A and B are shown apart, each in its own frame.
Chain A
Amino acid sequence: MTPEQPKYKTSDEVDFVVVGSGAAGGIIAKELSENGFRVVVLEQGPYLTEADFTHNEIKILNEDLLTNHPKLQPNTFRKTPNETAKPQRALVYGRLVGGTSVHFTANFWRLHEIDFVERTKIGPVAGTGFTDWPITYADLEPYYTKVEWEIGVSGLAGASPFDPPRSKPYPMPPLPTKASGVIFEQAARKLGWNPFPAPMAILSQPRPGRSACINCGFCLAFGCEVGAKSSSLASAIRMAEKTGRCEIRPNSYVHRIELDANSRATGAVYFDAQRNVHLQKAKAVVISANGAETPRLLLLSANKQFPNGLANSSGLVGKYLMLNSAAVSVGVFEQPLNDYKGFAVSRVLHDFYEMDPQKVGFYGGGGIDARFDITPIGFAMGGLPPGTPTWGKEFKHTLAHNFTRTMELMSHGTSLSLESNSFSLDPELKDAWGLPALRMTYKDHPDDLKLATYLNARALEILDAAGAQNKWSFPIEEQQFAVHLLGTCRMGNDPKTSVINSDHRTHDVKNLFLCDGSSLVTSGRGQPTMTIEALAFRAADRIRDLAKRGEINA
Chain B
Amino acid sequence: MTIDNSRRDFLLRSCSSLTAVWLSAHWPALLSAASHARNAAQSSASTKLEFFTPDQAKEIDAITARIIPTDETPGAHEAGVVYFIDRALMTFAVDDQKTYREGFPEMQVHTRELFPALDKFSAASPEQQDQILHSFDEHATGGRRRPRAAARGFFDTVRLHTIVAFLLDPDAGGDPNGVGWKVIGREREHMFQPPFGYYDKNYPGWQPPSPSDKAKS
Contacts and interface: CB of A to CB of B under 8 A. Distances in A.
A137 B167 CA distance: 46
Interface residues of B, number: 83
A525 to B, nearest CB: 13
B209 A194 contact: yes
Interface in B164-193: 164, 166-169, 171-173, 180-181, 183-187, 190-193
A62 B14 contact: no
Given A92-B17, A400-B183, A56 B37 contact: yes
A481 B13 contact: yes
Contact of B172 (A56, A63, A181): A56
A399 B184 CA distance: 6
Q: Which of B20, B27, B160 gathers most chain A CB within 10 Å? A: B20
A337 B190 contact: no
A480 B33 CA distance: 25
A471 to B, nearest CB: 8
A389 interface: yes
Given A197-B206, A221-B17, A179 B190 contact: no
Contacts of A479: 13-14, 16
Interface residues of A, number: 98
Nearest to A344: B18
Contacts of B180: 376
Given A56-B37, A376-B184, A182 B71 contact: no
Contacts of A441: none
A410 B15 contact: yes
A178 B1 contact: no
A199 to B, nearest CB: 13
B199 A182 contact: yes
Contacts of A185: 206
Contacts of A67: 20, 24
A92 B20 contact: yes
Interface string B127-142: 0001001000101100
Contacts of B203: 177, 182
A223 B180 CA distance: 24
Given A57-B168, A58-B31, A396-B75, A192 B200 contact: no
Given A56-B37, A221-B17, A337-B198, A89 B192 contact: no
A221 B19 CA distance: 7
Majority secondary structure, B binding face: loop
B37 A474 contact: no
Nearest to B17: A483
Nearest to B13: A481
B14 A480 contact: yes
Given A61-B23, A61-B24, A62-B23, A215 B191 contact: yes
Q: Which of B32, B41, B140 gathers most chain A CB within 10 Å? A: B32
B24 A58 contact: no
Contacts of A217: 190, 192
Interface stretch (B3-11, B47-55, B106-114, B117-125): B3-11
Interface in A453-482: 471-475, 477, 479-482
Contacts of A390: 137, 139-140, 159
Given A92-B17, A177-B206, A62 B24 contact: yes
B197 A336 contact: yes
Interface in A399-436: 399-400, 403-404, 408, 410, 412
Contacts of A176: 194, 196, 200
Contact of B37 (A58, A159, A483): A58
Given A342-B192, A378-B22, A403-B184, A473 B2 contact: yes
A216 B191 contact: yes
A477 B13 CA distance: 8
Given A57-B172, A389-B140, A480-B13, 5 more contacts: A56-B172, A336-B185, A393-B71, A472-B3, A484-B16
26 contacts: A55-B171, A57-B168, A57-B172, A61-B19, A61-B23, A63-B92, A105-B17, A156-B206, A177-B194, A197-B206, A215-B192, A216-B191, A216-B192, A218-B190, A327-B15, A328-B18, A342-B196, A377-B164, A379-B184, A386-B1, A389-B139, A392-B67, A396-B69, A479-B13, A481-B21, A483-B17
Interface of B: 1-4, 7-8, 10-27, 31-35, 37-38, 41, 66-69, 71, 73, 75, 92, 130, 133, 137, 139-140, 159-160, 162-164, 166-169, 171-173, 180-181, 183-187, 190-200, 203, 205-206, 208-209, 213, 216-217
Top-10 shortest CB links A-B: A192-B217, A335-B198, A179-B197, A221-B20, A481-B13, A56-B172, A338-B197, A326-B15, A483-B16, A179-B199
Interface of A: 54-59, 61-64, 67, 70-71, 89, 92, 103-105, 156, 159, 174, 176-179, 181-183, 185, 189-194, 196-197, 214-218, 220-221, 323-324, 326-328, 333, 335-342, 373-382, 386-387, 389-393, 395-397, 399-400, 403-404, 408, 410, 412, 471-475, 477, 479-484, 526
